[in-house]
Amino acid sequence: MLINEDGYRLWLRYQKINDDIRLLQYRKMIDGVTILENEQTFDIIKYELDLALPVILDKQVGIGRTGVTGRGLVVGTIDNLRKLNLDIPELDSREMGNEGFLIRQYDGDSNILITANSNTALITGMFHFLRRLQTHHDIQNIDILNTPRIHRRLLCHWDNIDGSIERGYAGRSLWKWNELPNKIDPRYRDYARACASIGINGVILNNVNSQPEILSTEYLLKIVALADIFRSYGIRIYLSPPFNAPAQLGSLRTSDPRKPDVKRWWKEKMDEIYSLIPDFGGFQVKASSEGQPGPHDYGGNHHDGANMLVEAMHDHNGIVLWRAFVYDTTIDKDRAKCAYKGFVPLDGKFDPGVFVQVKNGPVDFQPREPFHPLFGAMPKTPLALELQITQEYLGQAVHLVYLAPMWKEVLDADTFAYGEGSTVSRIVDGSLYANTESAIVGVSNTGSDRNWCGHHFAQANWYAFGRLAWDHYLSSEDICEEWIRMTWSNDPDVVNSIRKMMLGSWEACVDYMTPLGLHHITQEGHHYGPDPAFNGASREDWNSVYYHRADKEGLGFNRSSSGSNAISQYFSPLHKQFDDLAICPEKYLLWFHHVLWDYRLSSGRMLFEELKHHYDGGVEYVAGMKKAWKSLQGKIDSQRFEHVQNKLETQEVNAKFWHDVCMGYFRQFAGDRVS
């Protein structure tokens, strides 16, 4: 009989192996565990193995540090292993760096070693080994050397100090500021465990639309309590400060980054932060954007603000993530072009330690966008990729949408900046331009809901972000299957059914929301549900009609050479491909072209017919997901089954609503071309 679950355990849901062959293999090779580390690391690893191994193996396993024989499972850093004279191959510890780990069979067929150069990397390796057990992988002859491709892998929380979360759909903030630092919620440690298990090594605690109190001594002392917990798991704390903090918190007359007293204020504040949190990671800054204060308010530019902040950290080891989500349409009437025009002239003007943080696409986390043209256009500046895990524009915590395929489409996109092979991922990980530092940021979808993310399947996006941040060469399919096996079941029927649901869910969402390159046609403010007719915003580029430009002739935003010429911001051969209606990828057609209603696509269907085909297909896919999930009744515990079933029923209603609203709206323009 299945026991009901609430989803709290996420993918760290250890279950008994139901494969007898695997069970016998695992029991033979893990008949005891020796951990060779200091008290804190020992406690973390022992706690996790005590949770996992007795359940997975269905027997008790001795775990300790005394009476070391070097048999069974041995967990220890390179330095501690060398004290033991274990019969293992000579290791070059430089291959692992500070965060990589090695899992290797040694001295016969029944002993396994997990080793690393640092204690926190050892914890990461331990979680990776448990993942192999959870997913029923063969561990005979195991030999895994694994290092991260991106150095700073950060979750960004848009949490406010009053406990609310901007674009949060899973309850209140995890951070209970009114209780800290004296009362520590056990959930903080479970959050750190989950992050460490997928390789996250940084957390930005607060909203990019920031409040000055977060930098006050009162709040810094609260943050110290969180930093002390996270540090044990290899996770550093970052903050989003308001740019005008010197005036708001320090009572200066200005926050002009070029003024000596402003520089002095930031230097003193950074010294205070590092005196309390020695491993503080740095700042993420939203400035001169959507009403947020910035250097432009004082006649300066982005590099003036970013360089001033990184200079204040000069005596420490912090970075500045300066967001490029800036779209002043006085620079260009096409919002999609603004960030490029504002930042490319500044390439080479940012000091070491500054990253320009760029969203995956040039507008705003839409269901599908072409990659941001800044990638490849700033070779002298490290660029951090910003992805949105929380589903602001993709059905929030109601719709089942697996986002790894979306992120892979961006990461694998070739910018052609240095010819073929100049992918976005190689720019982000630093390998294309030989940058020694690299960073990726995901806007978190966590909250106080018992299941963390509001939807059991939204947990998959938190998981997938961490796995791709660690290794962007992993496939969406492999990450999907890992998560299913760890979170739901290793039963082949369950794995295959859920895998099929998830892998097509993003494309289906695009189909029933914004097919063929449509974008930004959600309802104003909350961004949930369709409103292609919206035209009442205070800014032109906040209106839906600004983006789709439907008229009696056709549909789409003309960004070709005959329109806004946004295609010129991409390298050859992309700009030629995007510019030519005949060869422009149809998934971006209405992003780059105003297409006539009677234009025939590769399918032979005219534009309106093709729109209908996609909207119909999206709705049908959701109906198929609902049917597939129904077939798993009895194989999933009833509590989680009913939760997901209710969500899918609502998603189907929503998908039909998107279909009806959008098709009805565009039909009035297509007129007699509608079949």
Determine which of 91-95, 291-295, 381-385, 439-443 has the lowest per-residue pLDDT on average.
91-95
pLDDT in the model for residue 89: 57
Residue 364 has, within 13 A of its CA and on its CB side, a CA count of 18
pLDDT digits (tens, 9 = 90+) for 543-554: 999 999 999 999
Q: What is the mean pLDDT of residues 412-436?
A: 97
The neighbouring-strand residues paired with 439 are 152
CA distances from 187 to 127, 192, 511, 644 (A): 19, 9, 38, 24
> In the chain, where are the structural domains located?
20-146, 152-475, 508-557+594-673
DSSP state, residue 570: S
In 3D space, the residue among 452, 482, 477 whose CA is nearest the CA of residue 640 turns out to be 452
Fold of the 152-475 domain: TIM Barrel (3.20.20)
Give CA–CA dist 56/47, Å, rounded.
Answer: 15
Alpha helices in 504-543 (DSSP H): 505-513
C-alpha 43: how far from its chain's center? 29
Structure tokens at 601: 């696509």
Q: Is the separation of the CB atoms in 161 and 211 below 8 Å?
A: yes
Which H or E run contains 309? helix 302-312
**Phi-psi sector, 163: left (phi>0), alpha (psi -120 to 50), beta:** left
In 3D space, the residue among 129, 85, 127 whose CA is nearest the CA of residue 104 turns out to be 129
In 3D space, the residue among 434, 324, 334, 439 whose CA is nearest the CA of residue 374 turns out to be 324
User: What is the CATH number that goes with domain 508-557+594-673?
Assistant: 3.90.1330.10
pLDDT at 120 over 70: yes
pLDDT in the model for residue 339: 98
pLDDT mean across residues, the chain: 95
pLDDT digits (tens, 9 = 90+) for 516-549: 999 999 999 999 999 999 999 999 999 999 999 9
pLDDT digits (tens, 9 = 90+) for 156-192: 999 999 999 999 999 999 999 999 999 999 999 999 9
Structure tokens at 288: 């001169």
Task: Give the number of other Cβ atoms within 10 Å of residue 637's Cβ.
Answer: 17
Q: Is the separation of the CB atoms in 438 and 430 below 8 Å?
A: yes
Give CA–CA dist 589/515, Å, rounded.
Answer: 9
Q: What is the mean pLDDT of residues 391-408?
A: 98
Q: What is the mean pLDDT of residues 657-664?
A: 98
Q: What is the pTM of this model?
A: 0.97
Give CA–CA dist 272/471, Å, rounded.
Answer: 35
Q: What is the mean pLDDT of residues 470-479?
A: 98
User: What is the CATH number that goes with domain 20-146?
Assistant: 3.30.379.10
pLDDT in the model for residue 91: 67
Which H or E run contains 388? strand 383-388
Q: Which residues are catalytic?
A: 290, 364, 392
% of the chain at pLDDT higher than 70: 97
In 3D space, the residue among 322, 326, 316, 375 whose CA is nearest the CA of residue 350 turns out to be 322
Identical fold, 152-475 and 508-557+594-673: no
pLDDT digits (tens, 9 = 90+) for 193-231: 999 999 999 999 999 999 999 999 999 999 999 999 999
C-alpha 430: how far from its chain's center? 18
Residue 672's pLDDT band (cuts 50, 70, 90): confident
Give 329: exposed, middle or buried? Use CB within 10 Å, 0-12, 13-18, 19+: middle
pLDDT at 107 over 90: no
pLDDT at 595 over 80: yes
Structure-token match 């035209």, residue found: 535
Output phi, psi for 459, to 5 deg: -60, -30
Alpha helices in 520-637 (DSSP H): 544-548, 574-579, 589-592, 607-630
pLDDT in the model for residue 93: 78
pLDDT in the model for residue 69: 55
Three-state secondary structure call for residue 429: coil
pLDDT in the model for residue 80: 86
Give CA–CA dist 48/134, Å, rounded.
Answer: 13
